[in-house]
C-alpha cells in the first residue's frame, strides 16, 4: 500500500453514554479515494466526525500524516488539514453563497486579494455557485447546497477531505459530476475519505472500499475487490 494519510488505531467513541465506535482500525492511503459503505446506523458518520474531532475518541489513537492528532479539537484539526463536509444540508442557510464560501476560508486568514483569487478558482470549478452568488444558501436546491458545502470546505485547503454522503439528493448526472471532481482532487494529491449509500457507483469510481458494521471496520480492500466480494455484493450492493 502507498503512504498513509491517516491511521486509526482501536478508536472507540460515541454520544454521552452511548458507544457507537467499538474499536475502529483503518489505514487510509494518501492521495487516493476511499469509500466507506455499511448499513444505516453502522457508525459511518460517527467515524467521520471522530476523524474531524467533533466526536471525541474515548480510547485508541489517530495519526494524521504521522502526527498524533487524537487530543486535538475540531478547529485544530481543520487548521491542521482535515476538512469535513457533513451529512445533510448546509450550516448557514441565512447567509448568501458568497458569505458561506468566505467563511469556508476563515481559518486561513487570507488577504482580501488572495481570497478573491481562491474564490475565482473554486467558482471556476463549480460555476453554478457564481450564478447563485447572492442567493441565501437555504434557498439553494439540495444538490446545489451539497456542492456549496464541498466548495466551502475546499477553501479551508484540507489535505484530507471527509465527505459524508456527497451524492445525497443529487440527480445521477450531478452525482457523476461530484465524483468526477473528487477524482480530479485526488489526482492533484488530496486524500478523500467518503461515506456513500450509492455503494456500487462509488466503488466503481474510487480506489479503496471499507465496509463498516456495528461500529467496526469489517473489511478494507481495493474497490474492485470489494465490488467482487460475494457476501458484500449480496448484503450491500443488491447484486
Ligand X SMILES: Nc1ncnc2c1ncn2[C@@H]1O[C@H](COP(=O)(O)OP(=O)(O)OP(=O)(O)O)[C@@H](O)[C@H]1O
Which residues are at the interface with ligand X (CB under 6 A)? Answer: 15, 18, 20, 38, 40-46, 87
For residue 52, the minimal CB distance to ligand X (Å) is 13
Answer with the entry of Mg ion, ligand X, none that 18 interacts with (C-beta below 5 to 8 A by kind): ligand X
Q: Give the nearer residue to ligand X in terms of CB position, either 45 or 100.
A: 45
Q: Which of 34, 45, 100, 198 binds Mg ion (CB under 5 A)?
A: 45
Answer with the entry of Mg ion, ligand X, none that 38 interacts with (C-beta below 5 to 8 A by kind): ligand X
Q: Which residue's Cβ has the minimum distance to Mg ion?
A: 45
Q: Does the CA dihedral 24-233-187-99 come out positive or negative?
A: negative
Could you give the 3-state DSSP secondary structure of residue 106? Answer: helix
Q: Is 46 in the site for Mg ion (CB under 5 A)?
A: no
Q: Give the nearer residue to Mg ion in terms of CB position, either 87 or 181.
A: 87
Q: Give the nearer residue to ligand X in terms of CB position, either 46 or 123.
A: 46
The CA angle 17-22-27, to the nearest 5 degrees, is 135
SS3 content of the chain, % helix, strand, coil (to 5): 40, 30, 30
Q: Give the nearer residue to ligand X in terms of CB position, either 54 or 103.
A: 54
* Mode of pairing for the β-strands spanning 208-213 and 216-222: antiparallel
**What is the rounded distance in angstroms from the CA atom of residue 223 to the CA atom of residue 33?**
10
**What is the rounded distance in angstroms from the CA atom of residue 48 to the CA atom of residue 193?**
8
Please report, in angstroms and rounded to a whole number, the separation of the first and last CA atoms in the chain.
28
Residue 11 C-beta-side C-alpha neighbours within 13 Å = 33
For residue 215, the minimal CB distance to ligand X (Å) is 8
Q: Give the nearer residue to Mg ion in terms of CB position, either 45 or 167.
A: 45
For residue 73, the minimal CB distance to Mg ion (Å) is 22
Question: Could you list the residues that contact Mg ion (CB under 5 A)?
Answer: 45, 87
Amino acid at each position: 500500500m502507498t503512504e498513509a494519510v491517516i491511521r486509526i488505531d482501536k478508536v472507540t467513541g460515541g454520544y454521552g453514554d452511548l458507544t457507537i465506535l467499538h474499536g475502529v482500525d483503518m489505514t487510509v492511503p494518501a492521495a487516493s479515494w476511499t469509500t466507506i459503505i455499511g448499513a444505516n446506523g453502522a457508525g459511518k458518520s460517527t467515524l467521520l466526525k471522530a476523524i474531524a474531532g467533533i466526536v471525541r475518541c474515548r480510547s485508541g489513537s489517530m495519526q494524521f500524516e504521522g502526527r498524533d492528532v487524537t487530543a486535538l479539537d475540531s478547529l485544530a484539526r481543520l487548521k491542521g488539514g482535515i476538512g469535513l463536509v457533513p451529512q445533510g444540508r448546509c450550516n448557514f442557510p441565512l447567509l448568501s453563497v458568497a458569505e458561506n464560501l468566505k467563511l469556508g476560508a476563515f481559518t486561513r486568514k487570507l488577504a482580501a486579494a488572495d481570497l478573491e483569487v481562491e474564490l475565482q478558482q473554486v467558482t471556476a470549478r463549480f460555476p453554478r455557485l457564481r450564478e447563485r452568488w447572492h442567493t441565501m444558501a437555504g434557498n439553494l436546491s439540495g444538490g446545489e447546497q451539497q456542492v456549496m458545502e464541498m466548495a466551502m470546505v475546499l477553501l479551508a485547503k484540507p489535505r484530507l477531505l471527509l465527505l459524508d454522503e456527497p451524492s445525497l439528493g443529487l440527480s445521477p448526472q450531478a452525482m457523476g459530476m461530484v465524483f468526477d471532481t473528487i477524482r480530479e482532487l485526488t489526482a492533484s494529491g488530496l486524500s478523500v475519505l467518503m461515506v456513500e449509500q450509492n455503494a456500487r457507483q462509488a466503488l466503481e469510481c474510487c480506489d479503496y472500499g471499507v465496509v463498516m458494521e456495528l461500529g467496526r471496520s469489517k473489511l478494507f480492500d481495493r474497490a474492485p475487490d470489494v465490488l467482487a466480494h460475494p457476501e458484500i455484493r449480496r448484503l450491500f450492493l443488491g447484486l
